[in-house]
Structure 1
Amino acid sequence: MATGWAGDGAVQDQIDATVDDAIKRARSQLKQGPGSERCEECDAPIPEARRKAVPGVTLCVACQQAHDEEENTFTAYNRRGSKDSQLR
């Protein structure tokens, strides 16, 4: 396929660079450090094994599960298609 001045693998290189940037961004948002000894929401103690397994942990298991469920229930993505397709 003729792509002008771009090399043969330019499209794949651009895709790879986009994926690499997304991975770097996601890793930079991960918490780090020893974590809290007590839950920020309910003040329950966080076991040492959890603090070692999840760096930067701030919530106990119960509060984390509730937080994850809350995040998963909200979605701004319209799974039915675009507005134009709904009007037809």
Structure 2
Amino acid sequence: MAGGWARDGAVQDQIDASVEDAVEQARSRLTRGDSLSHCEECGEAIAEARRKALPGVRKCVACQTADDGKNGGSSSFNRRGSKDSQLR
């Protein structure tokens, strides 16, 4: 049940849109193609076990960890929320 000027089902539409965004973001981070034998950033050898576990891996563990730290986390609020819901 939506309130105010929102139509019925608007809240569920916002939830669905947020979930779709998160899924798309996760898919964009998936690796594709052949794994590299050496890290594309530092040149260190990438362990065979890592290459088998993650097809398409391009960085060693250290460089990937540093890169993940730079990218930060995702936001914890609904970016697609209505203006009315943001004012409450």
Question: What range is the shorter-chain TM-score in?
Answer: 0.5 to 0.7
Q: How does 1:57-68 map to 2 (within 5 A)?
A: 57-68=57-68
> What is the aligned length?
72
Overall identity of the aligned pairs, in %? 55
Task: Give structure 1 stretches of 5+ with no counterpart.
Answer: 75-88
RMSD: 3.0
Task: Give structure 2 stretches of 5+ with no counterpart.
Answer: 73-88
The TM-score, its normalising length taken from structure 1, stands at 0.56
Larger radius of gyration: 1
Q: Which has the higher contact order (CA 8 A, sep 6+)?
A: 2
Check 1:24–1:65 CA distance in 2 against 1; reply closer, same or farther (3 A cut). Answer: closer
- Deviating above 4 A after TM superposition, structure 1's stretches of 4 or more consecutive aligned residues are 1-5
The TM-score, its normalising length taken from structure 2, stands at 0.56
Match in the other structure for 1:14: 14
